[in-house]
Chain A
Amino acid sequence: MMRLRLPVPPAFALRTLALPVLVLLMAALFGGAVRAQGQPDISAIVAKFANDSYSDTADALVALAASGSAQAAAVVDALGEGRLVFDPATKSVYIRARSGVVDAATGAAVAAPPATLTPVRANNRVRRAIDAASGALSLLNPDPARRADAAAAVFKSRDPVTLPTVEAAIAKETVPSIKEALEQARAAILIGKADAPEAERRVAIQKITARGDQEAISLLRSLPADSPPALRTAADAGIAKVEQNLKFWAVAQNVWYGLSLGSVLLLAAIGLAITFGVMGVINMAHGEMVMLGAYTTFMVQNVIRQSAPWLFDWSLAIALPLAFLFTALVGILIERTVIRFLYGRPLETLLATWGVSLILQQAVRSVFGPTNQEVGAPSWMSGAFQVGQLSITYNRLWIIVFALMVFFALLLVLKRTPLGLYVRAVTQNRRMAAAMGIRTGRIDALTFGLGSGIAGIAGVALSQIDNVSPNLGQGYIIDSFMVVVFGGVGNLWGTLVGAFTLGIANKLLEPFAGAVLGKILLLVFIILFIQKRPRGLFALKGRAVES
């Protein structure tokens, strides 16, 4: 693989010429300029490979990295891939290229290669040297992505040999983020370099401290023990500062995970807050509504994949109304055939809806099979971005946004629409509402449909982060009930607060207690909490409570 190097602008070349310290580097920097006059001769370096000694090979690699020859990268690559060969008789070194055998030092094709060619061997030490050399050489690569990779590689290897190359690259670099990475790499090298000036190393320590991650701590710890005391204290202070910083980000991370879990709980529970919280139906089939919503998404994506693949990014938007309608219809059907006979007998609704949930589960299992169905993510939901030390994935972010949107939309429906008014009237005083001319039966059906439909659109969102299988709903049903009961039955705000409290508490407990024990502790906490406040966090007050 040939690496081309862009010609260096003459102004830049003159500036570097003025720095006598970097004499060694000049060759590397002037690669392009020098090529015009002829390649620097690397045949003496390359000849070392023929000695078949690991230490000579490693030395030659270091020299190559500093040589600045355009051919150097090709040689290093060839060595890394085992294509660098030599003739034991003549001690000449060649590269086995795709086109044939070429001379290692010049890159010229060899017409009649010798018959006996031995590959230059590599051990772990040589391989490390190869990585360092190719890292150093890629620092000057025209492709910014490769330069960024190379900067990261140098930061990891911290090989003092690459220091001049790094410094040269810093001077030449134009992309700010890569420049920063290069400066960090330089600082990382300087920390371990005992013969560097103390002032420079102190700056390096500050630079690494500013990086503020786990890597920075291990770097600062690697400061040699015989370093000057002033440096040691600077490093220790840096470690303390970074640890503080990391602690903060760890908490931030857990809070973020907690928000994410809370939004999932909110989505799962919000439909139940209607059917259970407002209507008083212990809706054990709620989880199955979520599951049906997820399967609707799967069906929509299936159709789109087969007939209109360009619509795939819109699949969730298309699935949302369909899932709402479908699950709302199923909900209305359940209400009209089963639940309406059981109002006022909440424990019986529990048993009947449990039966319904078994039937729905088995129906889905019979139609789609018991295995997980693949639901894809649209492009705008995949990927992640970085905030400080925090990696935020787009799908989690969207689910939080979506959960809040659903919540407030529902709140609006209940507080600001005629349907919401009727719903509240019927649930608060059924007979009075009937006397006012509200058709209570129809409102019951619509309310249950609304709760089920919201469970359905929750299913669309949850299909993005969970396995879409017939058991999907069962995983949410207990959590949903906990959220609603904890928040206070009949109070949507309670559900919101409950979901996020439980979500964040769960994730903050996890580092200390582990995932399972954290969850157990939370369940025990809810059991105890119910003893203290039997009606939840935000209990309804008034005469409706005792019914």
Chain B
Amino acid sequence: MNRPGIIDRTGGIFLIIVLAAAVLIPASNLLLPPGNPLHVPDYMIPLLGKYLCYALLAVAVDLVWGYCGVLSLGHGAFFALGGYAMGMYLMRQIGPRGVYGNPVLPDFMVFLNYKELPWFWQGFDIFPFAMLMVVLVPGALAFVFGWFAFRSRVTGVYLSIITQAMTFALMLAFFRNDMGFGGNNGLTDFKDILGFPISAPSTRLVLFVTSALALAAGYLLCRALVTSKYGKVLVAVRDTESRTRFLGYRVENYKLVAWVLSAMLAGVAGALYVPQVGIINPSEFAPAQSIEMVIWVAVGGRGTLVGAALGALVVNAGKTWFTGVFPEAWLFGLGALFVLVTLFLPKGVLGLASSISERWKARRTAPTPSPEPAE
């Protein structure tokens, strides 16, 4: 059987759209006059950037859920940890401009009577170190967690529930003031990033473009992974784990690689998210957030990567619009979305589109049985 190329037709269209957005939206914002109907106003830029971060996060969730069969209810934890790493860098950049004017300690530490910077805050004033932590901290957590869980052959529902326990425990921990991460207020009041003022329209444009590029890169990375030989084994693990193990594959290692990589991608998404929304607090760890991420993937289409990104964009755009127009109805809408997608769109929007087009083709050519993705 031929291996599909890294960039298939859907993926190609997706990449072109993302890259076009990265060019055209800043161009429209900068070049078109505000009155022009195609002008993208300044306030839209961080909003769109936020959606792109969610899309990257959804791609990360899809890598483990769609291709590895691990339904993670704790990806919010990796996302938030990446966000906190970025937030710590941004806090250190405030320097003496905080309310208390302390050159080293962030405001909340002065407020809580810290005498010196805790050891785990050391080094976060250096940008490359902070960026390293953005991927290393979620990666390390995922490695330790996955190492134990996959070796003990914790699967299915049990795995989902302990990932939920993990993010819940982290949420409780980060809510504590003496953890040294700002308690329930989290980290906020950022001033600048790499010397550029963080709320300036130009900085936000750069962040937006970076998010778009990160999404494209993250997609390509995942796509390269799942189309490789490794990816084939991963899908085999998803479909029948015990059979793959009997064939001699070290199933837990295959899962672990995808799991850690996914956590790192989620961390990157979190790191790009924080400067655009201007705050990171423990509510990002809430189990409900992580469950919501799963529905983005389910809406778009599990196991398609493009669908996951699409789902994140659609659901979040819908959320913004709904909460603005009918704030009461949003939870009804979201709840109905969960129910309807699981009942009627098991393959998501993308799956629906492809099955329609397949049926169209099948009407003209001889019918070919399509493989059923198993649970």
Tell me the residues in window 302-322 of chain B with beta carbons closer than 8 Å to chain A beta carbons. Answer: none
Q: Report yes or no: B157 in contact with A282, Cβ–Cβ below 8 A.
A: yes
Mask of A320-359 contacts with B, CB within 8 angstroms, 1/0: 0000000000000000001001101111111110111111
CA of A357 to CA of B331, assembled, Å: 10
Q: Does A220 contact B (CB under 8 A)?
A: no
A291 to B: closest C-beta gap in Å: 14
A534/B152 contact (C-beta < 8 A), A347-B160, A358-B335 known: yes
Q: Report yes or no: A358 in contact with B331, Cβ–Cβ below 8 A.
A: yes
| Least CB separation from B171: chain A residue | A520
Question: Which one of B156, B165, B287, B339 contacts A527 once the chains associate, using CB atoms below 8 Å?
Answer: B165
Question: Which one of A341, A347, A526 contacts B165 once the chains associate, using CB atoms below 8 Å?
Answer: A526
CA of A478 to CA of B171, assembled, Å: 13
Q: Does B214 contact A (CB under 8 A)?
A: no
Q: Does A516 contact B (CB under 8 A)?
A: yes
Q: List 12 A-B contacts (CB under 8 A).
A: A284-B291, A358-B331, A358-B332, A361-B331, A365-B331, A474-B288, A482-B161, A485-B161, A520-B169, A526-B165, A530-B161, A534-B154
Q: Report yes or no: A348 in contact with B346, Cβ–Cβ below 8 A.
A: yes
Interface size class of B (residues with CB under 8 A): 35 or more
A347/B339 contact (C-beta < 8 A), A485-B161, A526-B162 known: no
Q: Report yes or no: B343 in contact with A352, Cβ–Cβ below 8 A.
A: yes
CA of A434 to CA of B166, assembled, Å: 40
B337: chain A residues at CB < 8 Å are 355
Q: Does A366 contact B (CB under 8 A)?
A: yes
A356/B335 contact (C-beta < 8 A), A346-B157, A485-B158 known: yes
B288: chain A residues at CB < 8 Å are 474
A523/B168 contact (C-beta < 8 A), A350-B160, A359-B336 known: yes
| Least CB separation from A276: chain B residue | B157
Q: Does B188 contact A (CB under 8 A)?
A: no
Most chain-B Cβ atoms within 10 A of its Cβ — which of A346, A347, A517, A520?
A: A347
Q: Does A24 contact B (CB under 8 A)?
A: no
B338: chain A residues at CB < 8 Å are 351-352, 354-356, 358
Q: Does A362 contact B (CB under 8 A)?
A: yes
| Least CB separation from A529: chain B residue | B162
Q: Report yes or no: B160 in contact with A358, Cβ–Cβ below 8 A.
A: no
Question: Which one of B161, B294, B298, B331 contacts A359 once the chains associate, using CB atoms below 8 Å?
Answer: B331
CA of A517 to CA of B156, assembled, Å: 28
Q: Report yes or no: A531 in contact with B331, Cβ–Cβ below 8 A.
A: no
Mask of A259-287 contacts with B, CB within 8 angstroms, 1/0: 00000000000000000000000101000
Q: Report yes or no: B335 in contact with A530, Cβ–Cβ below 8 A.
A: no
Q: Report yes or no: A520 in contact with B156, Cβ–Cβ below 8 A.
A: no
CA of A318 to CA of B89, assembled, Å: 58
Q: Report yes or no: A516 in contact with B298, Cβ–Cβ below 8 A.
A: no
Q: Report yes or no: B339 in contact with A531, Cβ–Cβ below 8 A.
A: no
Q: Report yes or no: B154 in contact with A355, Cβ–Cβ below 8 A.
A: no
Q: Does A401 contact B (CB under 8 A)?
A: no
Closest 5 CB pairs of A and B: A355-B338, A358-B335, A359-B335, A362-B331, A523-B169
Q: Which residues of A contact B (CB under 8 A)?
A: 282, 284, 338, 341-342, 344-352, 354-359, 361-363, 365-366, 474, 478, 481-482, 485, 516-517, 519-520, 523-524, 526-528, 530-532, 534-535
CA of A516 to CA of B287, assembled, Å: 17
Q: Report yes or no: A351 in contact with B331, Cβ–Cβ below 8 A.
A: no
Q: Report yes or no: A531 in contact with B149, Cβ–Cβ below 8 A.
A: yes
CA of A352 to CA of B339, assembled, Å: 4
A535: chain B residues at CB < 8 Å are 158
Q: Report yes or no: B332 in contact with A347, Cβ–Cβ below 8 A.
A: no
Give the interface SS of chain B, mostly helix, strand, loop or mixed.
helix
B338 to A: closest C-beta gap in Å: 3
Q: Report yes or no: A481 in contact with B339, Cβ–Cβ below 8 A.
A: no
Question: Which one of A352, A362, A516, A517 contacts B328 once the chains associate, using CB atoms below 8 Å?
Answer: A362
CA of A530 to CA of B287, assembled, Å: 19
B176: chain A residues at CB < 8 Å are 516-517
| Least CB separation from B298: chain A residue | A351
Q: Report yes or no: B156 in contact with A347, Cβ–Cβ below 8 A.
A: yes
A341/B343 contact (C-beta < 8 A), A347-B156, A358-B338 known: yes
A354: chain B residues at CB < 8 Å are 291, 295, 335, 338
Question: Which one of B153, B165, B346 contacts A534 once the chains associate, using CB atoms below 8 Å?
Answer: B153
Q: Does B164 contact A (CB under 8 A)?
A: yes
Q: Report yes or no: B162 in contact with A527, Cβ–Cβ below 8 A.
A: yes
Tell me the residues in window 169-187 of chain B with beta carbons closer than 8 Å to chain A beta carbons. Answer: 169, 172-173, 175-176
B158: chain A residues at CB < 8 Å are 485, 530, 534-535
CA of A485 to CA of B341, assembled, Å: 27
Most chain-A Cβ atoms within 10 A of its Cβ — which of B152, B157, B164, B287?
A: B157
Question: Which one of A282, A474, A519 contacts B172 once the chains associate, using CB atoms below 8 Å?
Answer: A519
CA of A481 to CA of B168, assembled, Å: 12
A364 to B: closest C-beta gap in Å: 11
Q: Which residues of B contact A (CB under 8 A)?
A: 71, 145, 148-149, 151-158, 160-162, 164-166, 168-169, 172-173, 175-176, 287-288, 291, 294-295, 298, 328, 331-332, 334-339, 341-343, 346, 375
Most chain-B Cβ atoms within 10 A of its Cβ — which of A338, A351, A357?
A: A351
CA of A535 to CA of B161, assembled, Å: 12
A362: chain B residues at CB < 8 Å are 328, 331-332, 335
Q: Report yes or no: B154 in contact with A359, Cβ–Cβ below 8 A.
A: no
Q: Report yes or no: A351 in contact with B342, Cβ–Cβ below 8 A.
A: yes
| Least CB separation from A527: chain B residue | B162
Q: Report yes or no: B295 in contact with A351, Cβ–Cβ below 8 A.
A: yes
Q: Report yes or no: B148 in contact with A531, Cβ–Cβ below 8 A.
A: yes
Question: Which one of B152, B164, B169, B295 contacts A481 once the chains associate, using CB atoms below 8 Å?
Answer: B164
Question: Which one of A342, A355, A478, A534 contacts B335 once the chains associate, using CB atoms below 8 Å?
Answer: A355
A355/B169 contact (C-beta < 8 A), A282-B157, A485-B161 known: no
| Least CB separation from A470: chain B residue | B331
CA of A413 to CA of B329, assembled, Å: 40
CA of A354 to CA of B341, assembled, Å: 12
| Least CB separation from B145: chain A residue | A527
| Least CB separation from A518: chain B residue | B172
A478/B331 contact (C-beta < 8 A), A282-B157, A350-B160 known: no
Q: Report yes or no: B334 in contact with A355, Cβ–Cβ below 8 A.
A: yes
B62 to A: closest C-beta gap in Å: 14
| Least CB separation from B346: chain A residue | A348
Q: Report yes or no: A345 in contact with B335, Cβ–Cβ below 8 A.
A: no
Most chain-B Cβ atoms within 10 A of its Cβ — which of A349, A359, A474?
A: A359
B165: chain A residues at CB < 8 Å are 478, 482, 523, 526-527
Seed contacts A342-B342, A351-B298, A527-B166; 8 additional CB < 8 Å A-B pairs: A338-B343, A362-B332, A366-B328, A482-B165, A485-B158, A516-B176, A523-B166, A530-B162
CA of A527 to CA of B335, assembled, Å: 29
B71: chain A residues at CB < 8 Å are 347, 350
| Least CB separation from A342: chain B residue | B342
B287: chain A residues at CB < 8 Å are 478
A361: chain B residues at CB < 8 Å are 331
CA of A45 to CA of B302, assembled, Å: 94
B334: chain A residues at CB < 8 Å are 355, 358
Q: Report yes or no: B152 in contact with A531, Cβ–Cβ below 8 A.
A: yes
A15 to B: closest C-beta gap in Å: 65
CA of A534 to CA of B153, assembled, Å: 8
CA of A351 to CA of B160, assembled, Å: 12
B152: chain A residues at CB < 8 Å are 530-532, 534
CA of A282 to CA of B169, assembled, Å: 20
A357: chain B residues at CB < 8 Å are 335
CA of A393 to CA of B343, assembled, Å: 47
Q: Report yes or no: A351 in contact with B294, Cβ–Cβ below 8 A.
A: yes
A259 to B: closest C-beta gap in Å: 23
B346: chain A residues at CB < 8 Å are 348
CA of A64 to CA of B108, assembled, Å: 59
Q: Report yes or no: B164 in contact with A478, Cβ–Cβ below 8 A.
A: yes
Q: Report yes or no: B335 in contact with A516, Cβ–Cβ below 8 A.
A: no
Q: Report yes or no: A355 in contact with B342, Cβ–Cβ below 8 A.
A: yes
CA of A349 to CA of B156, assembled, Å: 12
